[in-house]
Structure 1
């Protein structure tokens, strides 16, 4: 079905995405081996690995939306370049890539980005509309499961500290992004999941607030009590997945290599 409705070039993986994968691999190798491009700053490898892997997850998030939309009836996603995994093809490249990266560097928050543009009129059926919206954050859930697998499978023997901390921090970002994205707030994927089941009157009342949903969530996270409660939920979930608070803390500390670290996180090969 896909080959009949999209050109081969529309589904060819972009060299841009392959380049991001290459940076992820190099960063992962450096974090695993303890290679430090800047002497005394092992966190630089963690920074490169986590940042590149985070961009990969953002690309997969948007690809999941587009791929699900394609199989639900919106064949226009191919011509728009959404199936190539090229982040430069997104309708909202700033919201989808740059803004999440900014919040990652500034505060270690897995902020959800803007969605690709889906022509909803081509899709029939409320379940299909909900699935298109859910596909993105479900990708973050899957990514989090992969990152935490060594922890809940108790398969950490031989895994270097730096790589272990990097996985823990990357898992924190994925869990954060999944939860934020699933919030039923206008403009986020969670609202897209429930929107098809709302009455037309409710949709009309909510529609003007959609552009401000992400800003609203960000503002709430600046409230100290809400921020603490939110991250308590994140840390509890990660704890149940075998990722301890020290691993999460050290991952964040190493990621911020420019601050020099607190010296509480040993890194061995």
Structure 2
């Protein structure tokens, strides 16, 4: 059953959407074509990277929504894995994908932007009265947990790829890098990011009480964090270099060859 807004009612939430299936088919189909040698060049590599990126964002938002639903919060369109039905799809999907292309680095979904109405599990999100601090933190952490799962899947696909499938290994390697940078950045305790959402419930009064003035100000500023992060990405090497180092360390721990990361990064650049 659906309400007037089209949102599924009941604890199950909406089912898997055709848009999610289409994104998954594009990701798998282009990946298979690259691996088989039927597709080549930067265009195919870019489509593979960005379809996987959007799929990862959908899984990330699904994690938040599923954890929230399990503790009694209303179901949202993110449970369908449809990027168009995620809470505020411009903030959660479009802008992160755009900034990922512009900045050449994985940009986490759901960061704050002016006018953002708030997302479940994040600072400024819908009221979560009745949830303990631990559960509020768990809702915020569920998104990164799904990102970790997707990151591991990509690393396994890389490990299973034939050594002769150099292009496939390269695009998988750079996909792991982009997912890794988004994960590292998203877990930073910066207002507007999941890392801050995890610790935020423990920084003020009881869960049901309004935030004290200092924290209320920080929560309002969190809605501008996306613009701040974009500026740091584009102009500050002091910010991006440590982020890349941490992400490259993560890819190394997952068994990704640095040479493949570099080859993949060059391959997906269209300019």
Q: Are residues 1:189 and 2:194 paired?
A: yes
Match of 2:260 in 1: 247
Distance 2:168 2:51 in 1: 14
Q: Does 1:236 align with 2:243?
A: no
Matched, 1:112 2:108: yes
Matched, 1:15 2:28: no
1:24 is matched with 27
Aligned to 2:69: 70
1:54 paired residue number = 53
In the alignment, is the contact (CA less than 8 A) between 1:91 and 1:117 conserved in 2? yes
Separation in 1, partners of 2:183, 2:80 = 23
Q: Distance in 1 between matches of 2:187 and 2:260?
A: 25
Question: Across the two proteins, how many residue pairs are aligned to each other?
Answer: 244
* Residues 25-77 of structure 1: per-residue CA shift (max 9 Å, x gap): 211111111223xxxx5232222211111111111110110000001120x22
| 1:150 positional shift | 5.2
**Larger helix share, 1 or 2:** 1
> Is the Cα contact below 8 Å between 2:157 and 2:172 reproduced in 1?
no
Q: TM-score, normalised by structure 2?
A: 0.82
Partner of 2:208: none
CA distance in 2, matches of 1:51, 1:123: 38
Q: Which runs of 5+ in 1 are unaligned?
A: 260-269
Counterpart among 28, 34, 38 of residue 35 in structure 1: 38
Q: Is the 8 A contact 1:186 1:210 kept in 2?
A: yes
How large is the Cα RMSD of the aligned pairs? Answer: 2.1
Q: Structure 2 unaligned segments of length 5 or more: list them.
A: 1-8, 112-117, 121-125, 205-210
- In the alignment, the residues of structure 2 paired with residue 111 and residue 27 of structure 1 have an alpha-carbon distance, to the nearest angstrom, of 22
* Contact 1:65 1:133 (C-alpha < 8 Å) held by counterparts: yes
CA 192–159 in structure 1, closer or farther in 2 if over 3 Å, else same:
farther
Judging changes above 3 Å, is the alpha-carbon distance between structure 1 residues 156 and 20 closer, same or farther for their aligned structure 2 residues?
Answer: closer
